[in-house]
A and B are shown apart, each in its own frame.
Chain A
Amino acid sequence: MRLVVEPRANAPLSLKLLVSIVAGLAALLLVAIPVLLAGRSPLDAYGLMVKGAFGSMFSLSETLTRATPLILTGLAAAVAFRARLWNIGAEGQLYIGALAAVLVGSGLFQLPPLLMIQVVMIAGFIAGGLMMVVPAFLKQRFGADEVVITLLLNFVVILFIQMLIEGPIKDPLALGWPQSVPLVDAADYPKLIARMRIHFGLVVGIAAALILWVVVRRTVLGFEIRAVGGNRAAAKFAGLPVNATLLKVALISGGLAGLAGVGEVAGVKGYLSADLSPGFGYSGIVVAMLAGLSPIGTVFAAIFVAAVFVGADSMSRATGISNYLADLVVALSLLCVLVGGFFVRFRVRLDRAAAQGA
Chain B
Amino acid sequence: MTQAGSIVLALDGITKRFGKLVANDHIDLVLHRGEVLALLGENGAGKTTLMNILFGHYVPEEGAVRVADASGVLHTLPNGSPGAALAAGVGMVHQHFTLAENLSGLDNIVLGTEPVFRPWRSRIAARRKVEAIIKESGLGVDLDVRVDRLTVGEKQRIEILKALYRDARVLILDEPTAVLTPQEAEGLFVVLRRLAANGLAVIFISHKLGEVLAVSSRIMVLRGGRKAGELVTAEADRRAIADLMVGRAVAMPERSRAVAGAPVLEFDRVSVKRGSLRQSLHEVSFALRAGEIAGLAGVSGNGQAAIAALISGLDLPDSGEIRLDGASLTATSPARMVKAGVARMPEDRQHDGVVGTMSVAENIAIEELRDPAFQRFGFIDRNAMRKRAEAAIAGYDIRCPGPDAEARLLSGGNVQKLILARVLERTPRLILANQPTRGLDVGAQAEVHRRIIAARDRGAAVLVISEDLDELFTLADRFLVAYAGEVTDAGPSEALDRSTIGLLMAGQAAEPTAQVPA
Contacts and interface: CB of A to CB of B under 8 A. Distances in A.
Contact of A354 (B59, B313, B379, B380): B59
A218 B409 CA distance: 23
B135 to A, nearest CB: 42
B379 A238 contact: no
B345 to A, nearest CB: 10
Contact of B358 (A218, A227, A353, A357): A227
A236 B337 CA distance: 12
A357 B59 contact: yes
Contacts of B313: 239
Contacts of A10: 405-406, 409
Given A237-B344, A357-B80, A358-B80, A220 B355 contact: no
Given A223-B362, A237-B312, A237-B353, 8 more contacts: A226-B362, A231-B355, A239-B333, A239-B335, A241-B335, A354-B59, A354-B79, A358-B79
B61 A234 contact: no
A224 B352 contact: no
A233 interface: yes
Residue of A219, A239, A240 with most partner-chain B CB within 10 A? A239
A interface: dominant SS: helix
Interface string B329-371: 0000111111000001010000111111110001000110110
A223 B369 contact: yes
B6 interface: no
A353 B409 CA distance: 27
A354 B355 contact: no
Interface string B1-25: 0000000000000000011000000
Contact of B79 (A9, A230, A240, A357): A357
A223 B59 contact: no
Interface residues of B, number: 40
A230 B355 contact: yes
A353 B59 CA distance: 9
B375 A220 contact: yes
B314 interface: yes
Interface in A324-358: 351, 353-354, 357-358
14 contacts: A2-B80, A6-B18, A220-B375, A221-B378, A226-B355, A226-B357, A226-B362, A234-B352, A239-B334, A239-B337, A354-B59, A357-B61, A357-B80, A358-B80
A221 B375 CA distance: 11
Contacts of B91: none
Interface of B: 18-19, 59-61, 78-80, 312-314, 333-338, 344, 346, 351-358, 362, 366-367, 369-370, 375, 378-380, 382, 405-406, 409
A222 B354 CA distance: 17
Given A227-B366, A239-B333, A354-B59, A234 B353 contact: yes
B204 to A, nearest CB: 28
Contacts of A229: 357
A15 to B, nearest CB: 15
B354 A234 contact: yes
Contacts of B334: 236-239
Contacts of A241: 335
B314 to A, nearest CB: 7
A353 B344 CA distance: 47
A240 B366 contact: yes
Contact of A224 (B344, B351, B369, B406): B369
Contact of B78 (A223, A227, A231, A358): A358
A341 to B, nearest CB: 14
Top 3 nearest A-B pairs (CB, nearest first) are: A239-B335, A239-B334, A357-B79
A238 B351 CA distance: 12
A103 interface: no
B59 A358 contact: yes
Given A357-B59, A357-B60, A218 B379 contact: yes
A230 B356 contact: yes
A235 interface: yes
A227 B312 CA distance: 19
Nearest to B79: A357
